[in-house]
């Protein structure tokens, strides 16, 4: 969820060009791997620890979703275009606006993945596989190495896969009367999982030990797959970083209205769905994608949720249907999730990223705090009760102080709770009460250091970890690389993060007893009976320079919201979604 940052455009593009050129020039050391669709030719590279690794970039995992395949579920690719496919470079991302440079990039031909492995052709035991789903509000981003180069994970002896999927209107338009069944972007991710199942053994990976992990919209995607029997057969562990399926920004409201409105904005003069479909299918990519923000409802604009096209509840008869029930209903179904270990968490100041837009609206918040009442609270906007609750929220977060730039940390806390923390807590409690077969590990990332790249790029001076700040402790951020000293706190946190994430992929436990390199242990969230009156206790690893277990992070703020939900919803687990 990033907007703006135009001043970084030239600098970041220069980093990307330099990185791409350097990789292409070093491509003399090639390695070929035969997969089901043909032969891919990758490159030998060096990991940060000096060991050799192998990278295969830009592997197509489905037919290009162009022409008649626009909006459709992805189609399997039987054979590559060439006998030996050059996979030394990344291909197009999904047509979208780059979150950092604000430049239009990519095309509709975007269904590519990248494979990184520390060993190829060895008789050693197959390695765990980690498949990463990128974030970006279901509107922008890619799995490419400008943001997600996984060397530090790979050197812990895992095979890493990153991928592109369709975004925005191309990935999430829904018009079932005309065969646009919805969730094409999620189905792209599922197709990539099927490709991994079919081919990853050729890269040294174990198809029977696949961890799916993602951040923000990518985390919500992972959680939706976790709740889907159709998807779960292709992975064995799940990690959700700063996102889950029940957060109010995840599921699309009024999707058919949005599809019809988009067609009218493009120029459709007719009223029938057939004419809407014809317009959407024949219009340029620029029109279909470029006008999508214009379909936002007034409520979405007021709430600061500028994400018009995203997942929908689809028909069970849809092709490769993934989301056939409301996620919260699945979460309340006992043991809907089988014995799949789950890791989940948030950053302690997620909402800092919202200040890019929020700093322009301080006067609005000062005069109308009711606009930041979560939609999940059962109170009607514009009522006396709504206005009174808005004033109560304002008093709780800001005291008697006016909402000015001096209060940005407090505004960041409110944004963190509103967009992430409240429903992360709800999700954990539902998991604890209803999903007794599935272990859950919860974290709070609070480290604030030189590799907190998103906050640095946003140039916001608010203490704590911003949304997406943890990613540069897992991936090399090639577009703006920062070197840290080997003995620095940043290097230590990066080691801890990569070690815990890959331990989880290997063992289903981020701090297994056999790992003596980690001077702490991460306890899972406890299980309680669904109808128990016992207060839920959230066990949590606070990830700092010296990680430690805590209970009920941000308890004072969460207790405030529990009291709100008790008054308006009869309890926090009865959120209105």
Please say if the pLDDT value at position 37 is more than 90.
Answer: yes
**Is residue 377 located within the same domain as residue 325?**
no
Predicted confidence at residue 153, as pLDDT, reads: 98
Q: Do the bridges between strand 237-241 and strand 548-551 make them parallel or antiparallel, or are there none, so unpaired?
A: unpaired
**Rounded to 5°, angle at Cα 110 from 105 and 115:** 110
DSSP 130-174: EEEE--STTTS--SSTTT-B-HHHHTTT-EEEEE----HHHHH--
The mean per-residue pLDDT over the stretch 267-272 comes to 95
The mean per-residue pLDDT over the stretch 292-312 comes to 90
| Residue 52 is assigned to a structural domain of this protein | yes
Predicted confidence at residue 14, as pLDDT, reads: 33
Q: Which own/partner contact pairs does 380-387 have at CB distance under 8 Å and 24+ positions apart?
A: 381/299, 385/568
Predicted confidence at residue 305, as pLDDT, reads: 76
The 3-state secondary structure of 215-270 reads ECHHHHHHHHHHCCHHHHCCCCEEEEECCCCCCCCCCCCCHHHHHHHHHHHHCCCC
**Is residue 380 located within the same domain as residue 317?**
no
Predicted confidence at residue 124, as pLDDT, reads: 81
| Residue 414 is assigned to a structural domain of this protein | yes
**Is residue 338 located within the same domain as residue 351?**
yes
15 — phi, psi (to 5°)?
-60, -45
- Of 331, 358, 392, the last residue of a domain is 331
**Is residue 325 located within the same domain as residue 405?**
no
- Of 331, 359, 389, the last residue of a domain is 331
The mean per-residue pLDDT over the stretch 45-59 comes to 97
- List b or e across 3-32, with b for residues whose CB sees 16 or more CB atoms inside 10 angstroms: eebeebeeebbebbeebbeebeeebeeebe
- Per cent of the chain over pLDDT 90 is 89
Confidence of residue 15 (pLDDT cuts 50, 70, 90): very low
What range does the domain containing 55 cover? 27-120+127-241+312-331
What is the rounded distance in angstroms from the CA atom of residue 453 to the CA atom of residue 278?
Answer: 43
The mean per-residue pLDDT over the stretch 235-250 comes to 98
| Residue 199 is assigned to a structural domain of this protein | yes
Predicted confidence at residue 98, as pLDDT, reads: 84
To the query of whether residue 350 is one of the catalytic residues in this protein, the response is: yes
Please say if the pLDDT value at position 303 is more than 90.
Answer: no
What is the rounded distance in angstroms from the CA atom of residue 315 to the CA atom of residue 198?
Answer: 27
Please say if the pLDDT value at position 117 is more than 70.
Answer: yes
CA-closest candidate to residue 344, choices 246, 232, 229, 207: 246
Token pair, residue 351, equals: 């909402």
Integer-rounded Cα radius of gyration of the chain: 23
From 108, 350, 470, 490, the catalytic residue:
350
Token pair, residue 213, equals: 């992990």
C-alpha 230, offset from chain centre: 20
- Of 331, 360, 376, the last residue of a domain is 331
Predicted confidence at residue 13, as pLDDT, reads: 38
pLDDT in tens, 72-97: 999 999 999 999 999 999 999 999 98
The DSSP output letter for 515 is -
pLDDT in tens, 378-422: 999 999 999 999 999 999 999 999 999 999 999 999 999 999 999
Burial class of residue 225, CB neighbours in 10 A (0-12, 13-18, 19+): buried
- Let me know: does 195 contact 161? Beta carbons within 8 Å: no
Number of domains in the chain: 2
- List b or e across 535-561, with b for residues whose CB sees 16 or more CB atoms inside 10 angstroms: ebebbbbbbbeebeeeeebbeebbebb
What is the rounded distance in angstroms from the CA atom of residue 472 to the CA atom of residue 112?
Answer: 22
Specify the DSSP element, H or E, that contains 441. strand 440-445
More confident residue, 285 or 13: 285
Those residues whose C-beta lies under 8 Å from the C-beta of residue 513, and which sit 6 or more positions away, are none
The mean per-residue pLDDT over the stretch 490-513 comes to 98
CA-closest candidate to residue 120, choices 43, 192, 58, 48: 43
Which residue, chain included where needed, has tokens 């609206």?
Answer: 361
**Is residue 325 located within the same domain as residue 432?**
no
What is the sign, positive or negative, of the torsion defined by CA atoms of 18, 21, 27, 31? positive
**Packed helices 384-398 and 408-416: angle between N→C axes, nearest 10 degrees:** 120
Beta bridge partners of 343: 239, 441
| Residue 5 is assigned to a structural domain of this protein | no
Those residues whose C-beta lies under 8 Å from the C-beta of residue 384, and which sit 6 or more positions away, are none
**Is residue 355 located within the same domain as residue 215?**
no
| Residue 399 is assigned to a structural domain of this protein | yes
pLDDT in tens, 529-540: 999 999 999 999
| Residue 203 is assigned to a structural domain of this protein | yes
Predicted confidence at residue 371, as pLDDT, reads: 94
Confidence of residue 102 (pLDDT cuts 50, 70, 90): confident
More confident residue, 298 or 179: 179
Confidence of residue 298 (pLDDT cuts 50, 70, 90): confident
What is the rounded distance in angstroms from the CA atom of residue 63 to the CA atom of residue 112?
Answer: 10
From 53, 216, 242, 283, the catalytic residue:
216
Q: Kindly report the average pLDDT of the chain as a whole number.
A: 93
| Residue 422 is assigned to a structural domain of this protein | yes
Please say if the pLDDT value at position 18 is more than 50.
Answer: no
**Is residue 65 located within the same domain as residue 211?**
yes
Please say if the pLDDT value at position 16 is more than 60.
Answer: no
**Is residue 321 located within the same domain as residue 416?**
no
C-alpha 218, offset from chain centre: 2
What is the sign, positive or negative, of the torsion defined by CA atoms of 210, 211, 214, 217? positive
What is the SS3 assignment for 114? strand
- Range in 180-194, 270-284, 302-316, 381-395 the model is least confident about: 302-316
539 — phi, psi (to 5°)?
-70, 135
The DSSP output letter for 517 is T
What is the SS3 assignment for 186? helix
**Is residue 51 located within the same domain as residue 161?**
yes
**Rounded to 5°, angle at Cα 91 from 471 and 234:** 60
Distances (CA, A) of 246 to 156, 221, 325: 32, 11, 12
**Which CATH number belongs to the domain containing residue 520 in this structure?**
3.40.50.1820
**Is residue 318 located within the same domain as residue 357?**
no
pLDDT in tens, 173-229: 999 999 999 999 999 999 999 999 999 999 999 999 999 999 999 999 999 999 999
Please say if the pLDDT value at position 23 is more than 70.
Answer: no
Q: Please indicate, yes or no, whether the overall pTM of this predicted structure exceeds 0.85.
A: yes
What is the rounded distance in angstroms from the CA atom of residue 184 to the CA atom of residue 171?
Answer: 5
C-alpha 272, offset from chain centre: 35
**Is residue 341 located within the same domain as residue 464?**
yes
| Residue 300 is assigned to a structural domain of this protein | no
Those residues whose C-beta lies under 8 Å from the C-beta of residue 156, and which sit 6 or more positions away, are 498, 499, 502
- Let me know: does 361 contact 460? Beta carbons within 8 Å: no
pLDDT in tens, 353-378: 999 899 999 999 999 999 999 999 99
**Is residue 98 located within the same domain as residue 217?**
yes
Predicted confidence at residue 28, as pLDDT, reads: 65
What is the rounded distance in angstroms from the CA atom of residue 330 to the CA atom of residue 332?
Answer: 5
């Amino acid at each position: 969820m990033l907007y703006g940052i135009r001043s970084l455009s030239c600098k970041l593009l220069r980093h990307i060009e330099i990185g791409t050129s350097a990789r292409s020039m070093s491509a003399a050391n090639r390695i070929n791997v035969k997969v089901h669709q043909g032969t891919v030719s990758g490159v030998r590279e060096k990991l940060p620890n000096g060991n050799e690794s192998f990278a295969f970039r830009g592997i197509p995992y489905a037919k290009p979703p162009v022409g008649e395949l626009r909006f459709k579920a992805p189609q399997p690719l039987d054979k590559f275009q060439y006998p030996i496919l050059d996979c030394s470079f990344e291909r197009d991302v999904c047509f979208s606006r780059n979150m950092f440079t604000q430049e239009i990039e990519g095309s509709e031909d975007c269904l590519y993945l990248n494979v990184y492995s520390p060993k190829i052709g060895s008789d050693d035991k197959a390695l765990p596989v980690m498949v990463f789903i990128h974030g970006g509000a279901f509107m922008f981003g890619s799995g490419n190495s400008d943001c997600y180069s996984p060397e530090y994970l790979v050197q812990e002896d895992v095979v890493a896969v990153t991928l592109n999927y369709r975004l925005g209107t191309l990935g999430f338009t829904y018009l079932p009367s005309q065969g646009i069944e919805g969730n094409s972007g999620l189905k792209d991710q599922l197709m990539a999982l099927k490709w991994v199942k079919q081919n990853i053994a050729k890269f040294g990976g174990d198809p029977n030990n696949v961890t799916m992990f993602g951040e923000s919209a990518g985390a919500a995607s992972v959680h939706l797959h976790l709740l889907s029997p159709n998807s779960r057969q292709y992975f064995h562990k799940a990690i959700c970083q700063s996102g889950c399926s029940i957060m109010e920004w995840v599921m699309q409201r009024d999707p058919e209205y949005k599809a019809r409105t988009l067609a009218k904005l493009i120029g459709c003069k007719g009223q029938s769905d057939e004419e809407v479909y014809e317009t959407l299918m024949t219009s340029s990519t620029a029109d279909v994608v470029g006008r999508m923000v214009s379909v936002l409802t007034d409520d979405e604009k007021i709430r600061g949720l500028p994400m018009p096209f995203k997942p929908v509840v689809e028909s069970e008869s849809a092709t490769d249907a993934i989301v056939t029930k409301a996620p919260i209903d699945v979460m309340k179904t006992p043991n809907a999730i089988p014995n799949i270990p789950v890791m989940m968490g948030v950053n302690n100041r997620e909402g800092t990223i919202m200040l890019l837009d929020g700093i322009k609206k301080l006067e609005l918040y000062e005069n109308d705090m009711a606009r930041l009442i979560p939609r999940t609270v059962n109170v009607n906007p514009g009522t006396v009760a709504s206005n009174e609750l808005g004033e109560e929220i304002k008093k709780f977060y800001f005291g008697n102080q006016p909402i000015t730039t001096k209060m940005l940390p407090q505004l960041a806390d409110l944004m963190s709770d509103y967009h992430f923390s409240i429903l992360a807590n709800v999700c954990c409690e539902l998991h604890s009460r209803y999903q007794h077969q599935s272990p859950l590990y919860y974290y709070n990332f609070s480290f604030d250091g030189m590799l907190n790249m998103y906050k640095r790029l946003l140039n916001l001076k608010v203490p704590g970890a911003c949304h997406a700040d943890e990613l540069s402790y897992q991936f090399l951020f090639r577009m703006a690389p920062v070197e840290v000293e080997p003995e620095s706190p940043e290097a230590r946190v990066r080691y801890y993060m990569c070690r815990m994430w890959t331990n989880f992929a290997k063992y289903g436990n981020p701090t297994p007893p056999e790992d003596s390199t980690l001077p702490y242990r991460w306890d899972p969230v406890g299980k309680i009976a669904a109808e128990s009156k016992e207060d839920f206790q959230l066990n949590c690893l606070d990830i700092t320079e010296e990680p430690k277990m805590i209970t009920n992070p941000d308890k004072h703020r969460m207790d405030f919201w529990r009291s709100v939900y008790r008054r308006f919803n009869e309890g926090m687990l009865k959120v209105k979604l």
